[in-house]
Amino acid sequence: MPVPSADFKRALKQLSEKEKEALLLRAARRDAELYDTLCFELLPDVDAATVYEQASDQIHELFAVGATGRLLNRSLTKALSKTVKEVARARRITKDKRLEIDLNLYALRHIFENYTGQFESPYAGFFTATARLAARTTQLVQKNLHEDLWLEYKADLDDFLTQLHARSKSRSLKFELPRELELPD
């Protein structure tokens, strides 16, 4: 992303309110993420809960529509990849790391409720992507949240990690999958 220069900032200050408004509206029309960010920051009825609801609906739709076809494992891997991008987009809009963790857990719950049968497929792509998401979510909880909040996520994460470790493919992963969310002493 380019850094605004001093000349740019001066020119922006010299614009009238009407010109600034027109420029901002034109930029918002061109960039959907900028529009969503501005809505989040400017509108009182758009909050983190609204963004969570929109993103979770999008994630649900990605799996409902994207998880079809002859090669279900590949479709699920693509849907999971798009899900990760949707979660990152929601985090960029709100700058809320807890929202990112909650959306990751929503996606993991959806996967473990509906698609664990695909973990035994001869193709390991979906299993590996799911394991990476679970490991990343565990790291996000440990890195970004206060230790008192870890208990809130521990049961879900431990369940996901236990289920992943129970699969035969977990031994062939090229990265270390944590056993459980470790609480500090």
Name the pTM for this structure: 0.87
Closest CA to 127 of 138, 139, 137, 115: 115
Which of these, 156, 154, 133, 155, lies nearest to 145 by C-alpha position? 154
Q: How confident is the model at residue 2 (pLDDT cuts 50, 70, 90)?
A: confident
Asked whether the predicted pLDDT for residue 185 surpasses 60, the reply is no
> What's the mean pLDDT when you consider all of the chain?
88
pLDDT in tens, 27-70: 899 999 999 999 999 999 999 999 999 999 999 999 988 777 67
Which range of 21-25, 66-70, 85-89, 112-116 scores highest in mean pLDDT? It is 85-89
d(CA 173, CA 169): 7
Question: Helix 72-94 to helix 97-114 angle, to the nearest 10 degrees?
Answer: 160
User: What is the per-residue pLDDT for 174?
Assistant: 66
pLDDT of residue 183: 62
Cα–Cα distance for residue pair 40/71, rounded to 1 Å: 38
In the prediction, which pLDDT does 60 show? 94
CA angle 141, 146, 152 (to 5 degrees): 60
Q: What percent of the chain has pLDDT over 70?
A: 94
